[in-house]
Amino acid sequence: MKSLRLTKQLRENILESFVAKYKEANTPPQEPKSERQLGQEFADKVHQKVYGKYLSLVPEYMFNLANAIRVQLPNDGVQWLYFGENEKGSCKRPCTNESKIEYVFTDSDPIFLEYSNALNTCKVEVQQYQEYNKVLAKFKSDVSQVLESVNTTKQLVEVWPESEPFLPKEVSNPSSINLPAVNFAEINKVIQ
């Protein structure tokens, strides 16, 4: 195998090959929803439960518009549940007077139970996602250290023979690299 100098771009390409193989062998978990996203979905469900049957009956101009709905949780805590954002920014929905509690949850309320379960699942998924990314970051760091410690493809393969399949094909056979069809004589005339 002929040897080529490892450039920054070549090192990045080799690292990308290693990362692709790593992800192929260790399927990355799907990025979990954030607690904020779950809260917005929760707010949407509560809003639908409280106002859903009235929205088609009452003209929109008779409602106040708010970007949150105020609820009382089973532990007697009162909080605002925000609807999130749409393409125009803060999402406002028809509601009643903003100063009052619009819905009181019980411990057995199906919407509250669904939200609580989703939050618990979210915490586990976030932890798994963070752990996967931590291990992946360590893997990338280890491979990068090896790539930075050598100057040529020949040195890389000598110190780490298993890395050869991760070299780009044109690197493992430099004679296959095609130069562009350029007339060097004409270029030289211009720069002289």
71: pLDDT strictly greater than 90: no
pLDDT digits (tens, 9 = 90+) for 16-40: 999 999 999 999 999 998 888 888 8
- % of the chain at pLDDT higher than 70: 82
Cα distance between the two ends of the chain: 37
Nearest to 1 by CA among 171, 163, 159, 160: 171
What gap in Å lies between CA 37 and CA 118, rounded to an integer? 11
Nearest to 64 by CA among 103, 100, 29: 100
What gap in Å lies between CA 125 and CA 41, rounded to an integer? 17
Amino acid at 115: Y
Amino acid at 98: E
pLDDT for residue 3: 80
Tokens of 137: 């970051």
Distances (CA, A) of 20 to 90, 173, 176: 38, 22, 24
187: pLDDT strictly greater than 70: no
pLDDT digits (tens, 9 = 90+) for 73-104: 888 788 888 887 755 556 777 776 656 788 88
**pTM (two decimals):** 0.67
41: Cα separation from own chain's centroid: 19
Highest average pLDDT, of 82-91, 102-111, 183-192, comes from 102-111
HSE on the CB side for 146, CA within 13 Å?
A: 18
What gap in Å lies between CA 125 and CA 31, rounded to an integer? 8
112: pLDDT strictly greater than 80: yes
Highest average pLDDT, of 48-52, 54-58, 82-86, 152-156, comes from 152-156
Length of the chain: 192
Max CA distance (Å), the chain: 85
